[in-house]
Amino acid sequence: MSDLCYLPATEALRRFRERSLSPVELMEAVIARAETVEPTVNALCVTYFDEALAAARAAEDAYMDRGEAPRPLTGLPIAVKDELPVAGQPCSGGSLLYADEIADHSATVAERILAAGGIVHARTTTPEFSCAGFTHSRLWGVTRNPWNPEFAVGGSSGGSGAALAAGTAALATGSDIGGSVRIPASFNGVVGFKPPFGRVPEEPPYNLDQYCHEGPLARTVADCALLQNVIAGPHPRDLVCVAPKLEIPEELDGVAGLTAALVVAPGDWPVDPDVAANTRAAAEAFREAGATVEEVELEVRREDVRRAAYIHFGANFGADIMAEAQAHGDLMTPYALKMAEDTVAALRGATVAEGLALEARIMEAIADVLAGHELMLMPTVVTRGLIAGDDYVGHGVTVGGVDLADYFESLLTPLFNIASRCPVLNVPSGFADNGVPTGLQIVGRPYEDVTVFRAGAAFERPRPWLDAPERRPLQG
């Protein structure tokens, strides 16, 4: 295997500029890696390898002063999630219902990536309608974890996370309505950022939904910041975007003097022992880096979070899926049907006002912790992994000896779709004993994105994750 397919995007750009590496060489390495691992991983649902190589040759010309000047992403292979419209490309959302759908426009995020010189060499798999924390569908099949193919890659940006871990993309896009950037980042051992609401333009009408966020995934914190800086910023088509644009600096201060709250097990959540141990080890690393870390309680209840999220989804996201189910349920996946039924039922049994009251209580608990700390450190998920291909219909998961009726309760990500103005960066925290990576959420105060990137970079600096070939998945 060529090491080039794991080259950090920021390092690739440096080498392009100094002419010690060609974009064509990088693209060829990524394509060769995909041809080797895709039969196992199945993260790339549509590929454009011939077109990507042609674009890479044009990028080479730019760096050799034979064409237009290089732009921020020129020459990088970027995988785009199969729910983000790119004009002229398929955009099925992982559903048989839209298997023949071709996008008639490009979303703002896609426009910005292309305008910055990024090369979309592949689309990545999602669960149907991006409605699950795992990734398989009747359209694209099962996407498997590169670290242990018996396990799931998370979702809904599961193909993006798996592609990065497997070495088949330099950067990738994701979206996050309940954790869909952070869950796959955690299970695949990569970096994923949920920006605060309004930081990155979103497609209407979901730009009006405070739970919804477009965000970057990458293998390093610096790479994640690179893509975030391209896609972030106000746009005239999205009036909920905040201004002015915030840029994450290339050089980030350390964490000396920062205060962080450690929350290993919020409220009544059980936590897998490996997840808890890796979270505590991460907290110790922050202490060693100079931060003051205090373990605290976060007074939230699993059922309140689940109910608040399901009421919210029942009013929009779940209702949209229910409309599809009523018309074409025989073509849909069991988990999508269950998600629609459960969320619409939650709304029938409550009012939007009751959901808002639950959300307010949850946000108050988070605000109490962040009032006395600049950061919160928390596991991304409490389980060591979900089984690849399991619909999780009719059963839940067992975590730390506690049976959870719904796998949704194993996710700690929805807390910060509720508290949507908080920036959250997932960084790898270690491995469970089954080989599946575990993740740490670094949570900041509202709109203090730079602080979470400072923390992520300081945490990563002494422990680069995929720097050595023996630490990469699918070595056989």
Question: What pLDDT is stored for residue 223 in this prediction?
Answer: 98
What is each CA distance from 468 to 4, 186, 459, 465, 475, in whole angstroms? Answer: 12, 20, 18, 8, 12
Rounded to an integer, what distance in angstroms lies between the CA atom of residue 352 and that of residue 269? 25
Question: What pLDDT is stored for residue 169 in this prediction?
Answer: 98
3-state secondary structure 272-318: CHHHHHHHHHHHHHHHHCCCEEEECCCCCCHHHHHHHHHHHHHHCHH
Q: Which CATH superfamily is domain 3-471 in?
A: Amidase signature (AS) domain (3.90.1300.10)
pLDDT in tens, 39-64: 999 999 999 999 999 999 999 999 99
Among 284, 329, 302, 261, residue whose Cα is nearest residue 412: 302
For residues 396 and 409, the answer to whether their CB atoms sit within 8 Å is yes
Question: What pLDDT is stored for residue 471 in this prediction?
Answer: 73
Give the active site residue among 22, 92, 95, 156.
Answer: 156
Indicate whether 264 pLDDT > 80.
Answer: yes
Give the active site residue among 22, 81, 160, 186.
Answer: 81
- Per-chain mean pLDDT for the chain: 96
210: pLDDT confidence band, cut at 50, 70 and 90?
A: very high
Indicate whether 470 pLDDT > 90.
Answer: no
pLDDT in tens, 158-202: 999 999 999 999 999 999 999 999 999 999 999 999 999 999 999
Indicate whether 2 pLDDT > 80.
Answer: no
Alpha carbon 107 to chain centroid, angstroms: 18
pLDDT in tens, 397-448: 999 999 999 999 999 999 999 999 999 999 999 999 999 999 999 999 999 9
3-class SS of residue 108: helix
Could you tell me which residues come within 8 angstroms of residue 16 by beta carbon, excluding any fewer than 6 positions away? 22, 23, 59, 63, 70, 74, 75
3-class SS of residue 152: strand
Q: What percent of the chain has pLDDT over 90?
A: 96
Indicate whether 1 pLDDT > 60.
Answer: no
Tell whether omega for the bond before 429 is within 30 degrees of 0, i.e. cis. no
Give the active site residue among 22, 180, 410, 429.
Answer: 180
Rounded to an integer, what distance in angstroms lies between the CA atom of residue 220 and that of residue 428? 10
Asked about 81 being catalytic, the answer comes back as yes
Asked about 180 being catalytic, the answer comes back as yes
Question: What pLDDT is stored for residue 67 in this prediction?
Answer: 81
Question: What pLDDT is stored for residue 143 in this prediction?
Answer: 98
Indicate whether 74 pLDDT > 60.
Answer: yes
Rounded to an integer, what distance in angstroms lies between the CA atom of residue 400 and that of residue 190? 24
Q: What percent of the chain has pLDDT over 70?
A: 98
